[in-house]
């Protein structure tokens, strides 16, 4: 077991507080993505100075074991030497060209080799771009307008998808967003996650109008909710019956829950796949892809337009390629799964010891937990989470040097740099945190 590290029970926060005050003067809310503001958990967001392996350090010098991992991409750990070498090598030739590079082709080929459903892939710069573009392609191919999504699944912040989006909007307590006209969402059909009957009903109501069904195959924006047996295969069948396309949003799960993503793990082949996070190795990169006959419709070959000035950025392509090559090594996903399961199971045992209702889950390299007895199969059940208990738990873990997502609706992530000693240390802090949580009703 790794030696225990001395982490202050009451971290010094003067520098982060000053930095947050300065940021709020020039940035809305002081952050560039809303959940980072700690609005649902209280306290001061930590301004990060550096990271290495599974640890991060804030500008006050406090050290944390990190289970956010830049919200999923850092599957190899922070500042991985191989990724840094790849970025430096690419950077020596220039940072952006706005013209093709061989790195784009190599990363695209690696994706196509790994995901059987993807024969061609288009690089973009964010998960929002990937899902927005895949939906445009689905509408162009089918000639239909409606899109079916699931409550609590987040597919980026494009107008038509900011409804029932879980995660950030749920954390902030808002249903969608002002600035999105009703006309932009009236073509979005909602259904509860894991509810095939609701999807069938939607197809019955709009038999020739639904262009696609888009789904997180493992929902990571309402915690960590897996598909019930038959759910994903049922979606495949319904889409086939009604000539609609099935889109897997694997921005979070791609190369995270298995080397071939959730589609390999659950043996269901979508028509289109959206990727991000891990595929960029921590750099801003994402992609969408699918069968040849569908991707032939994308400009410049086809008539469905999509473009991006910085798409295929050479630094991001180098980082992504280095990541995917490393993930080909044997035993990688067994290690990730073992760490996630140890954390989920350990939390559940500790909670039972102190009489706290806690439901946990782990799938591949991600895990989640809810302060209620469960089960959790959809967003309505996820929202039963005792948020007061989550806030107490989050604060206690943070004070003890464990960095979790500042939201009850986010999955947690492990990396290849999390060791058994890190898991032990996390559970040691969690034991005390859960004792304090037991006093909250």
* pLDDT tens digit at each of 441 positions of the chain: 444 444 445 789 999 999 999 999 999 999 999 899 998 899 999 999 999 999 999 999 999 999 999 999 999 999 999 999 999 999 999 999 999 999 999 999 999 999 989 999 999 999 999 999 999 999 999 999 999 999 999 999 888 887 654 444 443 344 456 777 777 788 999 999 999 999 999 999 999 999 999 999 999 999 999 999 999 999 999 999 999 999 999 999 999 999 999 999 999 999 999 999 999 999 999 999 999 999 999 999 999 999 999 999 999 999 999 999 999 999 999 999 999 999 999 999 999 999 999 999 999 999 999 999 999 999 999 999 999 999 999 999 999 999 999 999 999 999 999 999 999 999 999 999 999 999 988
CA-closest candidate to residue 348, choices 321, 320, 367: 367
* DSSP code per residue over 58-106: ETT--EEEESSGGGTT-TT-BT-HHHHHHHHHHHTT-S--SS--HHHHH
The CB density around residue 128, as the number of other CB atoms within 10 Å, is: 19
The CB density around residue 441, as the number of other CB atoms within 10 Å, is: 6
Question: CB under 8 Å to 313, separation ≥6 — which residues?
Answer: 95, 96, 125, 283, 284, 285
Residue 269 corresponds to which tokens in the numbers above?
């082949």
- The residues assigned a catalytic role are 154, 249, 277
CA-closest candidate to residue 59, choices 12, 92, 11, 15: 15
Measure the CA–CA gap between 148 and 211, rounded to whole angstroms: 8
Per-residue model confidence (pLDDT) at position 176:
58
Query: Which 3 state secondary structure label does DSSP give 213?
Result: strand
Per-residue model confidence (pLDDT) at position 158:
83
Question: How many residues are given for the chain?
Answer: 441
Measure the CA–CA gap between 173 and 175, rounded to whole angstroms: 7
- Backbone phi, psi, residue 332, to 5°: -60, -50
Residue with tokens 């888009």: 214
Buried b (16+ CB within 10 A) or exposed e, 318-349: bbbbbbbebbeeeebbebbbebbbbbbebbbe
Measure the CA–CA gap between 358 and 344, rounded to whole angstroms: 10
Question: CB under 8 Å to 6, separation ≥6 — which residues?
Answer: none
Q: Which domains does the chain have, with CATH numbers?
A: 14-66+330-437 (3.90.1150.10), 81-326 (3.40.640.10)
Peptide bond into 375 cis (omega under 30): yes
- Backbone phi, psi, residue 440, to 5°: -95, 135
Question: CB under 8 Å to 102, separation ≥6 — which residues?
Answer: none
> DSSP letter at 46?
P
Measure the CA–CA gap between 311 and 133, rounded to whole angstroms: 13
Residue 265 corresponds to which tokens in the numbers above?
């793990």
Query: Which 3 state secondary structure label does DSSP give 265?
Result: helix
Per-residue model confidence (pLDDT) at position 164:
55
The CB density around residue 314, as the number of other CB atoms within 10 Å, is: 21
Helix 314-326, helix 81-91: angle, nearest 10? 150
Are the beta carbons of 193 and 149 closer than 8 angstroms?
Answer: no
Q: Which neighbouring-strand residues pair with 367?
A: 362, 412
Are the beta carbons of 364 and 265 closer than 8 angstroms?
Answer: yes
């Amino acid at each position: 077991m790794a030696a225990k590290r001395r982490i202050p029970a009451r971290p010094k926060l003067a520098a982060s507080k000053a930095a947050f005050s300065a940021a709020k003067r020039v940035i809305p809310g002081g952050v560039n993505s809303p959940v980072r503001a700690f609005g649902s958990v209280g306290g001061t967001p930590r301004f990060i100075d550096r990271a290495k392996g599974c640890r991060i350090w804030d500008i006050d010098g406090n050290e944390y074991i990190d289970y956010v991992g830049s919200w999923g991409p850092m599957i190899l750990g922070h500042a991985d030497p191989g990724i840094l070498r790849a970025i430096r090598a690419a950077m020596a030739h220039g940072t952006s060209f706005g013209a093709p590079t061989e790195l784009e082709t190599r990363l695209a080929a690696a994706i196509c080799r790994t995901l059987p459903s993807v024969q061609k892939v288009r690089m973009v710069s964010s998960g929002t771009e990937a899902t927005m573009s895949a939906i445009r392609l689905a509408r162009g191919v089918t000639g239909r307008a409606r899109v079916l999504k699931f409550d609590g699944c987040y597919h980026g912040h494009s107008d038509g998808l900011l409804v029932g989006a879980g995660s950030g909007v749920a954390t902030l307590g808002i249903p969608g967003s002002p600035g999105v006209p009703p006309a932009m969402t009236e073509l979005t059909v909602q259904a509860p996650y894991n509810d095939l009957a609701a999807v069938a009903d939607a197809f019955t109501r709009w038999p020739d109008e639904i262009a696609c069904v888009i789904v997180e195959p493992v929902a990571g924006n309402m915690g960590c909710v897996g598909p019930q047996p038959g759910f994903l295969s049922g979606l495949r069948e319904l889409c086939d019956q009604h000539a609609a396309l099935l889109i897997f949003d694997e921005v979070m799960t791609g190369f995270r829950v298995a080397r071939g993503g959730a589609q390999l793990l659950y043996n269901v082949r979508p028509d289109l796949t959206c990727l991000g996070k891990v595929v960029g190795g921590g750099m801003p990169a994402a992609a969408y892809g699918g069968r040849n006959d569908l991707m032939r419709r994308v400009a410049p070959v086809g008539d469905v337009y999509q473009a991006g000035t910085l798409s295929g950025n050479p630094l991001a392509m180098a980082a992504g390629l280095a990541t995917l090559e490393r993930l080909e090594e044997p035993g990688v996903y067994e290690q990730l799964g073992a760490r996630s399961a140890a954390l989920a199971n350990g939390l559940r045992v500790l909670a039972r010891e102190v009489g706290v209702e806690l439901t946990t889950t782990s799938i591949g390299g991600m895990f989640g937990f809810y302060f209620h007895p469960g089960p959790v199969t959809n967003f309505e059940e996820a929202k039963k989470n005792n948020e007061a208990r989550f806030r107490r738990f989050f604060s206690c873990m943070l004070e003890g040097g464990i960095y979790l997502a500042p939201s009850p609706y986010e999955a947690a992530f492990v990396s290849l740099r999390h060791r058994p000693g890190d898991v032990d240390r996390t559970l040691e802090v969690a034991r005390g945190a859960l004792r304090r949580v037991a006093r909250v009703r």
